[in-house]
Structure 1
Amino acid sequence: MSDLSNTQFFQVEPGPQISARDILEIVFKALKEKGYNPVNQIVGYVMSGDPTYITSYNGARSLVMKVERDELVEELLKAYIEHNSWA
Protein backbone atom coordinates (compact mmCIF):
# COMPACT_ATOMS: atom_id res chain seq x y z
CA MET A 1 0.00 0.00 0.00
CA SER A 2 1.33 3.48 -0.85
CA ASP A 3 2.28 6.06 1.77
CA LEU A 4 -0.65 8.48 1.96
CA SER A 5 1.34 11.10 3.88
CA ASN A 6 3.33 12.08 0.76
CA THR A 7 1.99 14.29 -1.99
CA GLN A 8 1.40 12.39 -5.18
CA PHE A 9 2.48 13.91 -8.51
CA PHE A 10 0.15 13.59 -11.49
CA GLN A 11 1.03 14.85 -14.97
CA VAL A 12 -1.34 14.98 -17.92
CA GLU A 13 0.10 14.83 -21.40
CA PRO A 14 -1.37 17.51 -23.66
CA GLY A 15 -3.35 16.24 -26.61
CA PRO A 16 -2.57 17.15 -30.19
CA GLN A 17 -3.01 20.84 -30.93
CA ILE A 18 -5.27 21.90 -33.77
CA SER A 19 -4.59 25.17 -35.57
CA ALA A 20 -7.01 28.08 -35.80
CA ARG A 21 -6.99 27.60 -39.57
CA ASP A 22 -8.09 23.97 -39.25
CA ILE A 23 -10.78 24.91 -36.75
CA LEU A 24 -12.15 27.59 -39.07
CA GLU A 25 -12.27 25.07 -41.91
CA ILE A 26 -14.15 22.52 -39.81
CA VAL A 27 -16.58 25.15 -38.49
CA PHE A 28 -17.16 26.58 -41.98
CA LYS A 29 -17.96 23.14 -43.41
CA ALA A 30 -20.26 22.24 -40.50
CA LEU A 31 -22.20 25.49 -40.86
CA LYS A 32 -22.52 25.03 -44.61
CA GLU A 33 -23.68 21.41 -44.25
CA LYS A 34 -26.39 22.50 -41.83
CA GLY A 35 -27.63 25.16 -44.27
CA TYR A 36 -26.32 28.27 -42.51
CA ASN A 37 -24.41 31.14 -44.09
CA PRO A 38 -20.94 30.40 -42.66
CA VAL A 39 -19.61 33.93 -43.10
CA ASN A 40 -22.53 35.53 -41.26
CA GLN A 41 -22.42 32.97 -38.46
CA ILE A 42 -18.65 33.23 -37.93
CA VAL A 43 -18.82 37.05 -37.95
CA GLY A 44 -21.64 36.89 -35.41
CA TYR A 45 -19.55 34.67 -33.16
CA VAL A 46 -16.38 36.75 -33.48
CA MET A 47 -18.22 40.02 -32.81
CA SER A 48 -20.36 38.83 -29.89
CA GLY A 49 -18.54 35.87 -28.40
CA ASP A 50 -21.87 34.03 -28.28
CA PRO A 51 -21.11 30.38 -29.16
CA THR A 52 -24.71 29.73 -30.24
CA TYR A 53 -23.83 31.34 -33.58
CA ILE A 54 -21.87 28.15 -34.28
CA THR A 55 -23.65 24.83 -34.77
CA SER A 56 -22.79 21.97 -32.47
CA TYR A 57 -22.88 19.67 -35.53
CA ASN A 58 -19.61 17.69 -35.87
CA GLY A 59 -18.31 19.31 -32.67
CA ALA A 60 -17.86 22.69 -34.38
CA ARG A 61 -19.01 24.73 -31.36
CA SER A 62 -16.70 22.92 -28.97
CA LEU A 63 -13.78 23.35 -31.35
CA VAL A 64 -14.30 27.05 -32.00
CA MET A 65 -14.42 27.75 -28.26
CA LYS A 66 -10.93 26.22 -27.86
CA VAL A 67 -9.34 29.15 -29.68
CA GLU A 68 -9.46 32.83 -28.72
CA ARG A 69 -11.59 35.01 -30.99
CA ASP A 70 -8.69 37.35 -31.72
CA GLU A 71 -6.74 34.34 -33.03
CA LEU A 72 -9.61 33.59 -35.39
CA VAL A 73 -9.58 37.18 -36.66
CA GLU A 74 -5.81 37.00 -37.10
CA GLU A 75 -6.10 33.80 -39.13
CA LEU A 76 -8.87 35.23 -41.29
CA LEU A 77 -6.90 38.41 -41.94
CA LYS A 78 -3.75 36.46 -42.82
CA ALA A 79 -5.70 34.34 -45.31
CA TYR A 80 -7.26 37.46 -46.84
CA ILE A 81 -3.89 39.17 -47.21
CA GLU A 82 -2.30 36.05 -48.73
CA HIS A 83 -5.24 35.61 -51.12
CA ASN A 84 -4.88 39.20 -52.35
CA SER A 85 -1.07 38.95 -52.66
CA TRP A 86 -0.47 41.91 -50.35
CA ALA A 87 2.36 40.15 -48.51
Structure 2
Amino acid sequence: MQNMNNTQYFRVEKEPEIRVHDVLKIVYEALSEKGYNPVNQIVGYIMSGDPTYITSHNNARSLIMKVERDELVEEILKEYIHTNSWK
Protein backbone atom coordinates (compact mmCIF):
# COMPACT_ATOMS: atom_id res chain seq x y z
CA MET A 1 0.00 0.00 0.00
CA GLN A 2 1.23 3.51 -0.81
CA ASN A 3 2.20 6.00 1.86
CA MET A 4 -0.45 8.74 1.66
CA ASN A 5 1.86 11.28 3.31
CA ASN A 6 4.18 11.55 0.29
CA THR A 7 3.52 13.52 -2.84
CA GLN A 8 3.26 11.47 -6.01
CA TYR A 9 5.07 12.70 -9.11
CA PHE A 10 3.68 12.43 -12.58
CA ARG A 11 5.91 13.32 -15.49
CA VAL A 12 4.66 13.77 -19.04
CA GLU A 13 7.22 13.45 -21.78
CA LYS A 14 7.34 16.45 -24.08
CA GLU A 15 6.68 15.76 -27.75
CA PRO A 16 9.71 16.28 -29.94
CA GLU A 17 9.57 19.62 -31.72
CA ILE A 18 9.02 19.44 -35.44
CA ARG A 19 10.20 22.17 -37.78
CA VAL A 20 7.69 24.15 -39.84
CA HIS A 21 9.54 23.08 -42.98
CA ASP A 22 8.98 19.42 -42.08
CA VAL A 23 5.30 19.99 -41.29
CA LEU A 24 4.76 21.57 -44.70
CA LYS A 25 6.57 18.70 -46.41
CA ILE A 26 4.49 16.04 -44.62
CA VAL A 27 1.23 17.89 -45.27
CA TYR A 28 2.11 18.46 -48.95
CA GLU A 29 2.89 14.77 -49.43
CA ALA A 30 -0.27 13.63 -47.61
CA LEU A 31 -2.46 15.91 -49.73
CA SER A 32 -0.75 14.69 -52.92
CA GLU A 33 -1.20 11.04 -51.93
CA LYS A 34 -4.93 11.61 -51.45
CA GLY A 35 -5.25 13.29 -54.87
CA TYR A 36 -5.71 16.87 -53.71
CA ASN A 37 -3.96 19.93 -55.11
CA PRO A 38 -1.65 20.60 -52.16
CA VAL A 39 -1.03 24.27 -52.98
CA ASN A 40 -4.74 25.06 -53.18
CA GLN A 41 -5.51 23.16 -49.99
CA ILE A 42 -2.69 24.73 -47.97
CA VAL A 43 -3.62 28.23 -49.19
CA GLY A 44 -7.25 27.54 -48.24
CA TYR A 45 -6.15 26.54 -44.76
CA ILE A 46 -3.84 29.54 -44.33
CA MET A 47 -6.49 32.00 -45.52
CA SER A 48 -9.41 30.59 -43.55
CA GLY A 49 -7.93 28.71 -40.61
CA ASP A 50 -10.35 25.88 -41.39
CA PRO A 51 -8.48 22.61 -40.76
CA THR A 52 -10.83 20.64 -43.02
CA TYR A 53 -8.79 21.91 -45.97
CA ILE A 54 -6.10 19.48 -44.80
CA THR A 55 -6.51 15.73 -44.97
CA SER A 56 -6.17 13.68 -41.81
CA HIS A 57 -4.13 11.15 -43.84
CA ASN A 58 -0.71 10.54 -42.21
CA ASN A 59 -1.76 12.82 -39.32
CA ALA A 60 -1.34 15.89 -41.59
CA ARG A 61 -4.26 17.83 -40.10
CA SER A 62 -3.05 17.40 -36.53
CA LEU A 63 0.48 18.38 -37.51
CA ILE A 64 -0.45 21.56 -39.35
CA MET A 65 -2.67 22.68 -36.49
CA LYS A 66 0.38 22.66 -34.18
CA VAL A 67 1.92 25.47 -36.23
CA GLU A 68 0.64 29.04 -36.28
CA ARG A 69 -0.59 30.10 -39.73
CA ASP A 70 1.73 33.12 -39.77
CA GLU A 71 4.66 30.74 -39.22
CA LEU A 72 3.55 28.78 -42.29
CA VAL A 73 3.47 31.96 -44.39
CA GLU A 74 6.87 33.00 -43.04
CA GLU A 75 8.44 29.64 -43.89
CA ILE A 76 6.96 29.62 -47.39
CA LEU A 77 8.14 33.18 -48.06
CA LYS A 78 11.65 32.48 -46.72
CA GLU A 79 11.96 29.42 -48.95
CA TYR A 80 10.67 31.36 -51.97
CA ILE A 81 13.16 34.19 -51.43
CA HIS A 82 15.98 31.71 -50.80
CA THR A 83 15.36 29.94 -54.11
CA ASN A 84 15.12 33.11 -56.20
CA SER A 85 17.95 35.31 -57.39
CA TRP A 86 16.57 38.64 -56.09
CA LYS A 87 17.62 37.90 -52.49
| TM-score class normalised by the smaller sequence | 0.7 to 0.9
Report the TM-score, using the length of structure 2 for normalisation.
Answer: 0.88
Return the offset for 1:33: 1.2
- SS at 2:24 equivalent: helix
Aligned to 1:62: 62
Alignment identity in percent? 70
Return the offset for 1:16: 1.5
Query: Aligned partners of 1:38 and 1:57: how far apart in 2?
Result: 13
Query: Aligned partners of 1:54 and 1:67: how far apart in 2?
Result: 13
Instruction: Point out where structure 2 has 5 or more consecutive residues left out of the alignment.
Output: none
Specify the code of the residue in structure 2 equivalent to 1:14. Answer: K
Report the TM-score, using the length of structure 1 for normalisation.
Answer: 0.88
Aligned to 2:22: 22
Once the two structures are superposed, residues 5-51 of structure 1 have per-residue CA deviations (whole angstroms, 9 ceiling, x without a partner) of 44433232212211110010011111111111111100000011000
CA RMSD of aligned residues (A): 1.4
Instruction: Point out where structure 1 has 5 or more consecutive residues left out of the alignment.
Output: none
Specify the code of the residue in structure 1 equivalent to 2:75. Answer: E
